[in-house]
């Protein structure tokens, strides 16, 4: 359970960094607490999309991933971010990704880099007590 909460918070920090750095990604809320709640909801949805949809898309596009030497993974990550934006729009959560280029693609790169840095710093589930 602690591992799930840590991953949720890491996703929220990565999404906040992307929203702060990329002008086409917006997180809205009247107060700071509302924006934090929005970030946590978006992080949960983003985590579900990455856990359920992303493996299926990667499996179906495996020949193209190999053909492009893995560069298609960046496009898949951007599509997962756009899918998260669409789902949050359907649920009336104030998170929006403007378009594919540059917002979604650069946003997915920021989320990947921040996520990698946080995973390097945060403890693994075996170390959590």
Kindly tell me if the per-residue pLDDT of 42 is higher than 80.
Answer: yes
Please tell me the predicted confidence (pLDDT) of residue 8. Answer: 93
- Residues 59-71 have a mean pLDDT of 97
Please tell me the predicted confidence (pLDDT) of residue 110. Answer: 97
Among residues 6, 100, 87, 103, which one has the least CA distance to residue 50? 87
Please tell me the predicted confidence (pLDDT) of residue 66. Answer: 97
- Residues 67-71 have a mean pLDDT of 96
Structure-block tokens of residue 16: 């906040």
pTM of this structure: 0.92
Among residues 10, 40, 15, 31, which one has the least CA distance to residue 96? 15
Helix-then-strand count for the chain, H and E: 5, 2
Determine the Cα–Cα distance for residues 75 and 104; give it in Å rounded to an integer. 9
Kindly tell me if the per-residue pLDDT of 123 is higher than 90.
Answer: no
Please tell me the predicted confidence (pLDDT) of residue 103. Answer: 95
Please tell me the predicted confidence (pLDDT) of residue 3. Answer: 86
Alpha-carbon distances of 127 from 5, 14, 84, 117, rounded to whole Å = 15, 22, 31, 17
Please tell me the predicted confidence (pLDDT) of residue 124. Answer: 67
């Amino acid at each position: 359970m602690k591992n799930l909460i840590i991953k949720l918070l890491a996703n929220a920090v990565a999404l906040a960094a992307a929203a702060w750095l990329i002008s086409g990604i917006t997180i809205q809320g009247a107060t700071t607490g509302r924006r934090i709640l929005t970030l946590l909801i978006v992080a949960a949805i983003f985590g579900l999309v990455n856990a359920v949809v992303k493996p299926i898309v990667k499996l179906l596009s495996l020949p193209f991933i190999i053909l492009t030497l893995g560069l298609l993974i960046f496009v898949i990550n951007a599509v997962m971010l756009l899918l998260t934006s669409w789902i949050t729009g359907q649920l009336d959560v104030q998170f929006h990704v403007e378009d594919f280029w540059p917002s979604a693609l650069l946003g997915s790169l920021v989320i990947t880099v921040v996520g990698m840095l946080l995973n390097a710093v945060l403890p693994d589930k075996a170390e959590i007590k």
